[in-house]
A and B are shown apart, each in its own frame.
Chain A
Amino acid sequence: MKFTGTESYVATDDLKVAVNAAITLQRPLLIKGEPGTGKTVLAQEVASALGRDLIQWHIKSTTKAQQGLYEYDAVSRLRDSQLGDDRVHDISNYIVKGKLWEAFSAAPAPILLIDEIDKADIEFPNDLLQELDRMEFYVYETRETVKAAERPIVMITSNNEKELPDAFLRRCFFHYIKFPDPDTMRQIVEVHYPGIQHDLVREALTIFYDIREVPGLKKKPSTSELLDWLKLLMSESLTPEMLRERDPKKLIPPMHGALLKNEQDVHLFERLAFLARRQERQPPQ
């Protein structure tokens, strides 16, 4: 069982090695990287490439580790007891399975995506240490141990909002998705919009990487923004020539709304355009 990238996802060599290491040794894989570099998509692609189910667990600031295992629905049981319902005698009626339990009991072993683990409380990863390591946990209410028949492939993404504890990191493989270089980016674009005009892509990529180089940008545009922008350019049927014209007055690229998501960044560009115009009017002596 090896992951070699898919038709709709360009995986670099280092990413493939990391994913395959995680699959072979059945350890969790922790993925970090700039927003919009395809961390979450990776799990979906691995799942479809290996033909496994994908179980997604999106973490919020209020998510508790216990919710991933199971929850004891005490309130319904309380209500049932007051109404004299018969179900009340069996406590297992009120145990609600969490995503981890779901992943442990599914066969064949699915891919479990724990998305944005850094959103949760600082203690969250620590609470899952044993569960992810041994792939088993104990249900106190029913006194049973849930154990994964087949260890699921666990992928964890993080946006670096919080540091993860060392003990947790020791148990994972780690991969940092770096921002794709122009060659890889061209492949990514090709994969998403097959048959797109090469000239258009070339011009668009030049502008895109130029924008990323501009010092002082609050939010650098990322892959997903580039893809959106290209889609816009195509639907407006802009020609490569229109992108190429380096008229200083049009320093702000067309449809910049897809690339610059911050009014300060747009201002910065307008200022740069203004400076460029002024320089043109007074050629250097």
Chain B
Amino acid sequence: MFINFFYELKNAKVPVTLKEYLTLLEAMKAGVASYSVDDFYYLSRATLVKDERNLDKFDKVFGTVFKGLESVADGEAIEIPEEWLRKLAEKTLTEEEKALIESLGGFDKLMETLQKRLEEQKGRHQGGNKWIGTAGTSPFGAHGYNPEGVRIGQDKSRHRRAVKVWDKREFQNLDDSLELGTRNIKVALRRLRKFAREGAEVELDMPDTIRSTANNAGWLDLKMRPERRNKVKVLIFFDIGGSMDSYIRLCEELFSAARSEFKHLEYFYFHNCLYEKVWKDNKRRMTDTMPTWDVLHTYPHDYKVIFVGDASMSPYEITYPGGSVEHWNEESGETWMRRTLDIYPHAVWLNPTPERHWGHTSSIGVMRQLMEGRMFPLTLSGLDAAARELNR
């Protein structure tokens, strides 16, 4: 029945399965949706979408697949609009506004133009100043600023026929390339958790106690065990200053999320590329630095390493000794990166630059190659992929 719809959803990367499709058919059969397009939209949304990040994609697909249905509804709208709009306009317009309408040639003229536009108009329209749509300055359409405007679909939810519910795409800002908030980051970082029992024995180990007591012919034999704790250890290197300034908020969020999520977290700052010195306090970065060798020697190889930086610099800063813009470096950034990666097999680079711009900066390519492709954009999905990579 809706096979086409199902496959379109699959093509749009909405994760739908046969089971959910069958559930939808079952629900239709049981009469949950009662033959109205809106109800069917709500029902199929509740059945097929299981994550609010996919709602926007779903709305888009629904809009295209059921375009036929939509036009039937639109046809009605074109047939009846005059009295309907007049009623609506009379209800919402004040006397002053009606006087303003005269400036466009009177109410009838306005209605006439509107009807003409409705017929002329091919598709949905957003913005602009002529066509009917939303958020424009044309006299027609909803949410506009023209005092002569006729409101369509803005007055009450019952009259929303002019703007389809799915056309509004209200969920668009929940798509998964959205900027991160700390809570979201924490969720993504949770993938990194690794539980282990270590330390003092403080918890009663019930199964073992029962087994030992049984072995002990019924005499109580208490067994204790240590508490479960998150054991993952993380080392973060932040690029700071220069071109990173525009991403400072994103990095702050990542930092605060990581800090509350991991007990074993160490962080250091560097500038542009990792060289022989790193620091923990940006105010004293010139005086109070720590040799990178010490860092590599201090933290064992089971630490997971995350670099955060835009990797946007001159390629010489990575590949040549003395390439650093701030000081004379004896060894190239590349040498230091390789050294670090040799010690820590689990490492990723998070890049706040949008992924589509990566190709424009050659140093990003160089760094990506150094990281053996383990560079991820600093978005939720990128962070998720990075966490998976670190856990491998």
Binary CB contact string for chain A from 176 to 208 against chain B (1 if under 8 A, 0 otherwise): 101000010000000000000000000000000
A175: which of B15, B46, B170, B187 is its contact (CB, 8 Å)?
A: B46
A-B contact pairs, 20 of them (CB 8 A): A14-B42, A17-B32, A17-B33, A17-B39, A18-B42, A18-B46, A21-B32, A21-B46, A21-B47, A78-B210, A78-B213, A82-B218, A162-B187, A163-B51, A170-B17, A170-B20, A170-B50, A171-B19, A174-B47, A183-B157
In the complex, chain B residues whose CB is within 8 Å of the CB of A63: none
B186 within 8 A of A: yes
A17-B42 CB under 8 A given contacts A30-B50, A170-B19, A172-B50: yes
Complex contact A25–B171 (CB within 8 A): no
Complex contact A27–B23 (CB within 8 A): yes
Complex contact A173–B46 (CB within 8 A): yes
Complex contact A174–B157 (CB within 8 A): no
Total interface residues in chain B, CB < 8 Å: 37
Complex contact B43–A160 (CB within 8 A): no
A161 within 8 A of B: yes
Interface, chain B (partner A; CB < 8 A): 15, 17, 19-20, 23, 26-27, 30-33, 38-39, 42-43, 45-47, 49-52, 55, 156-157, 165, 170-171, 183, 186-187, 190, 206, 210, 213, 218, 220
CB-nearest residue of chain A to B214: A78
In the complex, chain A residues whose CB is within 8 Å of the CB of B45: 14
Enumerate A1-48 residues with CB–CB distance to B below 8 Å: 13-14, 17-18, 20-21, 24-25, 27, 29-30, 32
In the complex, chain A residues whose CB is within 8 Å of the CB of B220: 78, 82
CB-nearest residue of chain B to A164: B50
Cα of A82 to Cα of B219 in the assembled complex, Å: 8
Cα of A32 to Cα of B213 in the assembled complex, Å: 46
In the complex, chain B residues whose CB is within 8 Å of the CB of A161: 183, 186-187, 190
Could you tell me the distance in whole angstroms from the C-beta of B327 to the nearest C-beta in chain A? Answer: 36
A74 within 8 A of B: yes
Total interface residues in chain A, CB < 8 Å: 34
Cα of A183 to Cα of B55 in the assembled complex, Å: 23
B47: which of A78, A163, A166, A173 is its contact (CB, 8 Å)?
A: A173
Could you tell me the distance in whole angstroms from the C-beta of B255 to the nearest C-beta in chain A? Answer: 15
A81: which of B32, B157, B183, B218 is its contact (CB, 8 Å)?
A: B218
Could you tell me the distance in whole angstroms from the C-beta of B171 to the nearest C-beta in chain A? Answer: 7
Complex contact A25–B20 (CB within 8 A): no
Main secondary structure, interface of B, reads helix
Could you tell me the distance in whole angstroms from the C-beta of A40 to the nearest C-beta in chain B? Answer: 18
In the complex, chain A residues whose CB is within 8 Å of the CB of B39: 13, 17
In the complex, chain A residues whose CB is within 8 Å of the CB of B42: 13-14, 17-18
Cα of A81 to Cα of B218 in the assembled complex, Å: 8
Complex contact A169–B32 (CB within 8 A): no
CB-nearest residue of chain B to A62: B228
Highest count of chain A CB atoms <10 Å: which of B32, B46, B52: B46
CB-nearest residue of chain A to B186: A161
Highest count of chain B CB atoms <10 Å: which of A24, A162, A176: A176
CB-nearest residue of chain B to A178: B170
Cα of A27 to Cα of B46 in the assembled complex, Å: 12
Cα of A49 to Cα of B136 in the assembled complex, Å: 43
B30: which of A18, A24, A164, A166 is its contact (CB, 8 Å)?
A: A24
In the complex, chain B residues whose CB is within 8 Å of the CB of A75: 206
CB-nearest residue of chain B to A15: B42
Cα of A169 to Cα of B16 in the assembled complex, Å: 10
B206: which of A14, A74, A82, A175 is its contact (CB, 8 Å)?
A: A74
Complex contact A169–B50 (CB within 8 A): yes
CB-nearest residue of chain A to B19: A170
In the complex, chain B residues whose CB is within 8 Å of the CB of A183: 156-157
B52: which of A32, A162, A166, A171 is its contact (CB, 8 Å)?
A: A32
In the complex, chain A residues whose CB is within 8 Å of the CB of B183: 160-161
In the complex, chain B residues whose CB is within 8 Å of the CB of A163: 51, 187
Complex contact B156–A174 (CB within 8 A): no
In the complex, chain B residues whose CB is within 8 Å of the CB of A17: 32-33, 39, 42-43, 46
In the complex, chain B residues whose CB is within 8 Å of the CB of A13: 38-39, 42
Cα of A17 to Cα of B165 in the assembled complex, Å: 14
Complex contact A162–B47 (CB within 8 A): no
In the complex, chain A residues whose CB is within 8 Å of the CB of B206: 74-75
Cα of A24 to Cα of B30 in the assembled complex, Å: 7
A174-B170 CB under 8 A given contacts A74-B206, A162-B187: no
CB-nearest residue of chain A to B24: A21
In the complex, chain A residues whose CB is within 8 Å of the CB of B19: 170-171
Enumerate A48-106 residues with CB–CB distance to B below 8 Å: 74-75, 78, 81-82
Cα of A105 to Cα of B1 in the assembled complex, Å: 38
In the complex, chain B residues whose CB is within 8 Å of the CB of A29: 46
In the complex, chain B residues whose CB is within 8 Å of the CB of A169: 50-51
In the complex, chain A residues whose CB is within 8 Å of the CB of B49: 174
A24-B186 CB under 8 A given contacts A30-B50, A74-B210, A175-B46: no
Cα of A151 to Cα of B132 in the assembled complex, Å: 50
Highest count of chain B CB atoms <10 Å: which of A25, A75, A178: A25
Cα of A176 to Cα of B52 in the assembled complex, Å: 6
Cα of A75 to Cα of B204 in the assembled complex, Å: 11
In the complex, chain A residues whose CB is within 8 Å of the CB of B186: 161
In the complex, chain B residues whose CB is within 8 Å of the CB of A164: 50
Given contact pairs A14-B42, A24-B32, A161-B183, a sample of 9 additional A-B residue pairs in the complex whose CB atoms are under 8 Å apart: A14-B45, A17-B39, A30-B50, A78-B210, A160-B183, A170-B17, A170-B19, A173-B23, A176-B55
In the complex, chain A residues whose CB is within 8 Å of the CB of B210: 74, 78
CB-nearest residue of chain B to A173: B46
In the complex, chain A residues whose CB is within 8 Å of the CB of B27: 21, 24-25
